[in-house]
Structure 1
């Protein structure tokens, strides 16, 4: 094999090269939760060193963050093929694209020019430092087009056709970045960008030819030379199982379990062990004050294999029998439950509906909390009932926080999630139910303010989520034959059939005072309130934008339940609807032939009544 060179390179140096992607490396497989963990780690390492008294040059002395390794071969025509590491490089590219856009939109001066690391111009043509497909280039062309707002850019990206699964994951990550950026990082973004490009480092393993690069890749991955945390954990556990026959059985089960986890997605094996160790055994977490030491939660996140080795005795895994039981019975059981949770996050299952709802919130700590009350001897019925109950409680918390205007990002949810994990750890179902019922009303209070949600002030995804839950509830209760379903309402890759938020009142209005509004300003404010919003397919929503409410009613009559319920035809000769309004008198649905200020409050009251039923105490 040709000579292999190994070098530690900061992000800045790496992105001074231009990379090409072999066919097998083109698919971006990371989900937003993988990206969120990476971003949280980078920000955490930065904030450990940052002091408000520091100058920019002090960043040079900060502790570096090691991102991992990439394998490349020699440049051809000014381009360097990536054989391994596309996930990391693409993730850093997305982060830099966000930071570039953020600095431009916020008019932040004296900052590292990230455009030189994101793109190159050759003969008047702009291209990117990673050779993306045309569909992925179109995503970044829209996102980095400063002639349009970022919200307009994201709307156009949602409308792009021909995006593959990797492109959709890139879009999902782009949408998640802003709320995951720590407020301190935003306030001192110049420092963080310096840290990212100068102190976040990769190991680049480079060989002369692409064939040699493939050999290095295969050797590191298939012959055990890349000893990651999973391999080290496996080696430690199996070394403690002294009976040869039992050891062989444990090894076979381990291989099957890890392979099954990896089929769920990238890094799922490591994510599982982090979730399980935190759920079952972590007793401490880093405090909020600067300089507070890391706790079990943090050590597990950094090096779960090392934490296990150091703490096995403390958690009761001491003898060879303990290790064999843990490997043979417990890891496999918890991995199966974790896999069930992950599948329920990806695809709606009525048996685990709230798990899916929480995943729509991009809640990355869900698996940890759901595993917390599970005991090794739980029957399938027992652990399933616990998962359903805790997921329902988490749904209430996430939704109530949205209504209160709180960000559901990793940093804000970390301590809340950990507190619940500690509280319900190892409980039986009745104890979990008592805990949930005791805590429920504290969070349910936020539902009273649901009508104050505003399109202009809230996260659009939060409003869409709540309207989708309300619509889905009504469809099921009324047993509509033309139901849409929650999963379709929130699906963002259906082109013109993707659902958007529809304003019932157009903007601007020339007769606001005649409609009961004190002023045009009040009209503008209240038309954005939840009571003046429904959902429509994107193509229909855009075709009706400039029309008055009365002119839109005919179109509403053929749409989903939120729009249809405004029309008189919805109530005519429809016993299911009439039966529903009789049995649910607080949900005062009625046809609204004209819509003004009073109807906004009336409609908001309908939404509030439905929400209180959806999120009622178990």
Structure 2
């Protein structure tokens, strides 16, 4: 290889990490990828995998499927099987975290082939990681061994971020893919995902390339290109458009570390108000190249040179919508209770329903009053939260693709027609009547391998609901934190204790994992009592939340608020203590009914402000009368939209 000769080569992921160690030089920055970058990478990978896995011809002949290009990276190779990364560290580290989480899942499934293949890319010799970054090793080791990494005061930013992104990947994988698809996803990932390696001749040559790549100024983003396009056509209003644009940016930047909030907002705005209904290509291109989509659809948007005013109106609508959307942007980062009552916005974000932004913006008109916009968005977020809970209770998939279908195919067309808060409430109330199934049908729902996140969410909402009603201090975010609160099994994993009642060990395991056999308990308490019989645990439960404490005899004495809650909600037969002679089956069934009853209150449409029309049987086969609703004027389209 010549002194400054540059070579390139394509690598599949299985080839990229085969018997090779990757290291970084001193001038490289920390691992800094945030939640959004990791979410985008995983969603892109999982989306491409779904396209591949639903194509019969690709499944029959995998080698004919197009490869997924993950971009280039730059490296130099000082010795055989040892490479230094010049550019690409963030993707390499994220891929390594993904491999580790996939291997943990494969180990749980006893998928020996997947474990073996992942071992080959995770380590070079079964012990040393393929990414030889010393600072990362303690975190990677903890992830590999499925144990919590305890961050310390002296930990680097990379270590803290590695642990956070590892937890995110674990949760997002469960949201994006069913357990039965993880094996095929692993095969596809290793075989069909490729990067192109650009090889520098030496360390010095690599450093010069690094300087060149980083000294040419920041690359223009799609948002920058869109702004440039709009400015070039606005005519005499250029200064005003530029001012409005910067005001919009200020509205959207609620977190200085989040560099993609503006791009996400503009994409959501276009999908909510401008994309053509039923046209998947619009959605795909807005998501990947929003500036290109705006240029190519100028006539559809009315953004044509002979109408320069439309360009300014378009940006004005963006700014007004950004101001109205700001409370929801903030609510997606921190819990907003009290007067705002926007807590479900945060819950939806944590549950993988980030597409709620599109549905909320479809309901909001740029000229809405702030209070009306907030009410509309709250209704949409509450409806999506209820949809998620019902899907979990009915054991239906709640992956991001399912939520996207709800948002784009159902909610956006419906909400675009709504003008007032009452219109939004009525439209969503009508949707509620179309939701199949009943909460009370979930009589056997319980914990299994891939639904711990969803079960924890149900338990957290029920626990917080009762604590709040009894005016007790509580923290729903702590309940959702798996390190602070554990999912507690009322029955320890000792079949022999109930062998006479339940002879079959499979039935015992199933019943033990039912929702009625679970609760939330602080981690340190759970660790100290998890092996005790239920009647001995009850005394410890009395120090915990109401839903566990009530199991202890006498817990409701001297607790008038709890007794009032039981009376008001008609839960006297379910929210009660249990004596030592109660059977496991009786306790689990009773508490299963308790949880389902609480869920009916929590997600009661009327409580959420979603009016459900009364059901009545028409006489003599006649059609039921049309439901009266407020007449709404045709909604004003987004500026520039035809």
1:573 to 558, 561, 564: 558
Residue 106 of structure 2 contacts residue 183 of structure 2 at CA under 8 Å; is this kept in 1?
Answer: no
Alignment of 1:247-326 (within 5 A): 247-250=241-244, 252-253=246-247, 256=250, 260=253, 263=256, 265-285=258-278, 294-318=280-304, 319-326=307-314
**1:583 matches 2:568:** yes
1:309-458 matched pairs, under 5 angstroms = 309-318=295-304, 319-327=307-315, 329-350=316-337, 351=340, 352-419=342-409, 420-425=411-416, 427-428=418-419, 429-443=421-435, 445-456=437-448
**Pairing 1:30–2:18 present:** no
- After TM superposition, the structure 1 = structure 2 runs for residues 34-73 of structure 1, keeping only pairs within 5 Å, are 34-43=40-49, 46-47=52-53, 51=57, 54-56=60-62, 58-59=63-64, 62-70=65-73
**How has the CA–CA distance of structure 1 residues 255 and 396 changed in structure 2, closer, same or farther, with 3 Å as cutoff?**
closer
String of CA shifts for 1:423-447, please: whole Å, max 9, x gaps: 2125231111111111224438431
SS in 1 for 2:491: coil
DSSP 3-state at the match of 1:89: helix
Instruction: Name 2:519's counterpart in structure 1.
Output: 534
For residues 110 and 557 of structure 1, what CA distance do their matches in structure 2 show?
45
CA RMSD of aligned residues (A): 3.4
- C-alpha contact 2:67 2:192 (8 A) present in aligned 1: no
SS of equivalent to 2:299: coil
Instruction: Verify the 8 A CA contact 1:46 1:195 in the aligned structure 2.
Output: no
Q: For residues 365 and 167 of structure 1, what CA distance do their matches in structure 2 show?
A: 25
> CA offsets per residue over residues 364-388 of structure 1, 9 Å max, x none?
3221222211111111111111110
- Which residue number in structure 1 is paired with residue 234 of structure 2? 241
* 1:136 corresponding residue in structure 2: 139
TM-score (ref. length: structure 2):
0.80
Contact 1:370/1:390 (CA < 8 Å) preserved in 2? yes
Distance change >3 Å, CA 178–CA 237, structure 1 → 2: same
| Pair 371,79 (structure 1): closer, same or farther in 2 beyond 3 Å | farther
Instruction: Report the Cα offset of residue 261 of structure 1.
Output: 6.8
**Counterparts of 2:524 and 2:46, CA distance in 1:** 37
CA–CA separation in structure 1 for the residues paired with 2:177 and 2:225: 32
Change (3 A) 1:488 1:269: same
The 1:239/1:8 distance shift into structure 2, 3 A limit, reads: farther
Aligned CA distance change for structure 1 residues 240 and 609 (closer, same or farther; 3 Å): same
Q: Note the residue ranges of structure 2 that are not aligned, 5 or more in a row.
A: 610-642
Distance in 2 (alpha carbons) for counterparts of 1:590 and 1:190? 47
Number of residues of Structure 1 aligned to a counterpart in Structure 2: 579
Task: Describe the superposition over 1:264-316 as per-residue Cα deviations: whole angstroms up to 9, x where unpaired.
Answer: 52533332222221111222456xxxxxxx52112212222111111232123
Check the 8 A contact 2:245/2:319 in 1, yes or no. no
Contact 1:285–1:298 (CA<8 Å) still a contact in 2?
no
2:22 and 2:140 map into 1 onto residues whose CA distance is: 14
Would the alpha carbon gap of residues 272 and 430 (structure 1) be closer, same or farther in structure 2, given more than 3 Å must change?
same
Q: Distance in 2 between matches of 1:184 and 1:376?
A: 44
Q: 1:54 to 1:506 in 2, by over 3 A?
A: closer
Tell me which residue corresponds to 1:471.
Answer: 463
Query: What TM-score do the two structures reach when normalised by structure 1?
Result: 0.83
* 2:516–2:595 contact (8 Å) kept in structure 1: yes
How far apart, CA to CA, are the structure 2 residues paired with 1:463 and 1:375?
A: 36
Q: C-alpha offsets along residues 464-496 of structure 1, whole Å, 9 cap, x if unaligned?
A: 11111001000111101xx3321110023x4xx
Asked if structure 2 preserves the Cα contact closer than 8 Å seen for 1:508 and 1:524, the reply is no
Offset of residue 189 of structure 1: 4.9
Where 2:142 maps in the other structure, the secondary structure is: helix
State the alpha-carbon separation in 2 of the partners of residues 564 and 512 from structure 1: 23
Over 3 Å counting, the alpha-carbon distance change for 1:221 and 1:567 in structure 2 is farther
CA contact (8 A) 1:501 1:536 kept: yes
Give the whole-Å Cα distance in 1 for the aligned partners of 2:187 and 2:144. 26
The answer as to whether partners of 1:74 and 1:210 remain within 8 angstroms in 2 is no
Q: Do the aligned partners of 2:324 and 2:370 also contact (CA within 8 Å) in 1? A: no
Could you list the per-position Cα deviations for residues 341-366 of structure 1 after superposition, in whole angstroms to 9, with x for gaps in the alignment? 33322221112111112123122322
* 1:70 positional shift: 4.1
Q: Secondary structure at the match of 1:137?
A: helix
Is residue 358–residue 412 contact of structure 2 (8 Å, CA) maintained in 1? Answer: yes
Return the offset for 1:202: 4.4
- Do 2:76 and 2:206's aligned partners in 1 also have CA atoms closer than 8 Å? yes
> Equivalents in 2 of 1:491, 1:338: separation in Å?
27
Match of 1:150 in 2: none
Cα distance change, pair 376–27 in 1 and its aligned pair in 2 (3 A): same
Residue 20, structure 1, aligned to residue 3, structure 2: no
Q: Supply the distance in 2 between the matched residues of 1:190 and 1:347 (Cα, whole angstroms).
A: 34
SS of alignment partner, residue 68 of structure 1: strand
For residues 8 and 50 of structure 1, the distance between their equivalents in structure 2, rounded to whole angstroms, comes to 30
Shift of 1:192: 1.4
- Report SS of the residue matched to 1:372: helix
Corresponding position of 1:147: none
Aligned partners of 1:84, 1:336: CA distance in 2, in Å?
Answer: 37
Q: Distance between the aligned counterparts of 1:77 and 1:187, measured in 2?
A: 32
Contact 1:139 1:171 in 2 (8 A): no
Q: Does 365-374 or 99-108 show the bigger shift?
A: 99-108
Answering whether residue 451 of structure 2 is matched by residue 459 of structure 1, we say: yes
Structure 2 vs 1, CA of residues 376 and 79 (structure 1 numbering), >3 Å: closer, same or farther? farther
The SS at the match of 2:256 is helix
Q: Which runs of 5+ in 1 are unaligned?
A: 143-152, 287-293
Structure 2 Cα separation of the partners of residues 285 and 49 of structure 1: 21
